[in-house]
Structure 1
Amino acid sequence: MTEIHTPRLLLRRWLDDDLVPLSEIHSDAGVMRWIGDGSTRSAEETAEDIEAWEEEWDEEGFGIFAVELLGSGELAGAVGLHLADAPPGVAGEVAVCWRLGRAFWGQGYASEAAHGALEFALQDRGLDRIVAVCRTGDTASANVLAKLGMRPEGTAQDPVHGHDLRMFGIDLTEFQA
């Protein structure tokens, strides 16, 4: 089983017991504000997300990790790599993404977890470039991307929801592991 240990977190594959806490995270409008169309997700939709993430692991050799606090074992959210399907400027490239429960905001967990995912991309999967997309106005995510060393690479419009997006990228030879 693929696991990554950071100083405070365990990034791991999904367990059946993760559905309820992730569903609680997905039911928070503040958490979901910048994701997709901004809608909250039901327990059934969350189960579909986890299933899709696990399928991507099986098909691509990478995917979205469950983020667990080392001290308490509490599920903090999700972070990892996925094959971007949009916008056209990054479609088909491997992207880093995350979502954490509100109780875990402002403590550096997103940066720590995303850094672990980028190290995994470079060291374990041999990828040479990672991208990220965030909605214009999502300053918290843009700040995490800056901490990771990801550079702005342009703007686009979400082809499904119409939101303005900012695209970022990093050549992993420049990544500070």
Structure 2
Amino acid sequence: MSTPQVVVVMDWGGTWTRTAVVNRQGEILWQSREPNPQGGSKEEYLANAERLLANAIRQAGGPVAGIGAAVAGPVEPTTGTFYQPPNLMVLDGVAFKALWENIFDVPVWVGNDANLAALGEHYYGAGKESADNGRPVKTLFYVTVSTGVGGGVVDKGSLFLGANGLTAEIGHTLVDTSESALECQCGSRGCLEAMASGTGIER
């Protein structure tokens, strides 16, 4: 039996869910983007994500090596358990890694979206473009601004997560202590995310 040559990947954001089929060379062979069920229940969010993954697997046209999921907010990668994700709070405490491995019968890898984007930039984007004698930069700090604000740090080729895995979660840094500070999705007031995210700027 031949080794599968493609993987299915998912970017599970606060507003949109993107899925794609990617080959071993890192080339995107197919991709799609659909809105999340805003205001939906935990079950509706999971069902929507599973429907999109099933469609991506069909688009692959054959066996896939696995599923890689980049998710918005803090997540425990070995179990795929969400930990109070500000923009996906309905999924707080949900562990989906084993669930999806059982449904799709393939390995599932999970990580925070900003952390994984930082790795991608390190090896294929800004880090590679800024290489010194063909070697990627030693340290890269990545910032994402979308529904929320997040960050990731890559040091010497590896993610730098810190003691609790939240080292680069800059979105919930307190930047406004005034009485008129905007309320953040996390429930606090004056967070950077409340002011500088896409949703914050819009309002």
The TM-score normalised by the length of structure 1 is 0.32
Bigger-Rg structure (1/2): 2
Q: Structure with the greater relative contact order (CA < 8 A, sep ≥ 6): 1 or 2?
A: 1
Q: Normalising by the residue count of structure 2, what TM-score does the alignment of the two structures yield?
A: 0.29
